[in-house]
Structure 1
Amino acid sequence: MRAEAEAPFRGLRLVLLGFFGASAGMGFLISVPQLIGALGGARSALPLDQVIQNMAIDAGAVSLFAFFFYRDWQQRAKQINRLKREEGLGALPIRLASGKTLRLEDLRGNARVVVAAGTPEQVSQALQEAEPLREELIRRGVIVVPLPLFKSEGEAEAAALPPLTSADQRWRVEPLRLQQWEEWFAEQLSFSPKAKQERGLFVGLRLDGRVRSSGSGSPPWRRYALELAPLEGEGKWTGFMDGFDGRV
């Protein structure tokens, strides 16, 4: 359903491109016996130059339609793979400061989730960098998932961050079942060889749950505070002419 909503005419384009390509291919095949007749000097044969011209047009049309069909099909495959990864991220469990347990997808439509993953030091640093912009980010619906997945040098296992408090109600959530989160990030790294785990990783989501930005290092807090339309207060998003969530 999400794939159809994002690209509502792709299915129709694939059908039409396939139909037109098949029609051009049929025309090319029909021209083959005409070419044989023209070369053999058959009495009712079409002129050779006309047959060659028809075949060239049909071959060009087949190539053109095949190119566009292949490109659309590849984009469809990439889109489906991306949606699967986003759905996998949305299924991961979290706990709110109130103690309520949810899945990440339950925040769709209400929050722009930003996942900051790395060693405990990297995650703590990312939270410290966000602190001066905390109120602006909260106004924009940003909720942080600090994710200390990786071990610091010399540690047997990754240390935990301080527990949630009532002050974190609209700012921070706690990830649960860290092994599932680690598996998801490991899969993403296989698709993004340029991402460097050693620098920490981040993923920023839009309100609809789509990945807005991702990469190595700390999340770009200042860019989020500048680009994202507020969900409350002065400057609140009022229509589709506002920037709102930005490009994916």
Structure 2
Amino acid sequence: MDLEGRLLWGYDPDAKLYRPIAVDEEGRQLFTAGDSFLDLPDTPSSYSGQGGKVVAVHSGESALEFIEAGSSGWELLADEDLSSPATSVSWTGLDLDAARIYDIYLAISEGASGSTTYSIYFNNDTTAANYWCRKLQAKWSGSAEQVLTARYNAAYLFALDPGKTGVISLGVMRETGTGYPYWLVKSGFRQSTTRTDGVDILYFAGVYPAAGNVTRIDITASNADGIGAGSKLRLFTVA
């Protein structure tokens, strides 16, 4: 009988299971197929103790290995969903020199009775004069578009009118050992009261000209309870 190229079932004594094999015209096994691990040097042969991990090619490119699923992406450090208004949200126990970067996502609803300004502070230093930032803002004014630039001696993020919402993603970075901590808004918008469908688009960066590591970050409203209920604040770092 010509068996060449056919798949037959054979018993694998090492794996202790039957699996399909391909044979040549004389019935000799050509290769092994199935759902078992690849036959490579140092390839894991058991799932035991590997829950939650993923399989990746080893750096030597001759084997597979298990790695932590979060080791190649972002790690969520803080997840704040406010059920009641707050004046400030604090994240402590941080180490910017070790993390190299923190990524922050804010979706804030204005929760006070008046216009509220939101700021980012490092290491519990809430003195506005100790910070600098520069802003580029595109907005609708009256019947025309405007692009504005501004410079603040403050730890400014954005301002909201009563009942409005702002959304921002920003990074906090520092060149280890030499540079000042700074924040860079990658994208952001806030609802405008100039017209019902208006939004202001924000891009800006700021610096905290003080030497040292960042171990604490605060997101603070200028008015009491200015971070309204339903606001969401997320802090990530690279895993």
User: TM-score if structure 1 supplies the norm length?
Assistant: 0.28
Comparing both chains, which one has the higher relative contact order based on Cα–Cα distances under 8 Å and sequence gaps of 6 or more?
2
Higher strand share: 2
User: TM-score if structure 2 supplies the norm length?
Assistant: 0.28
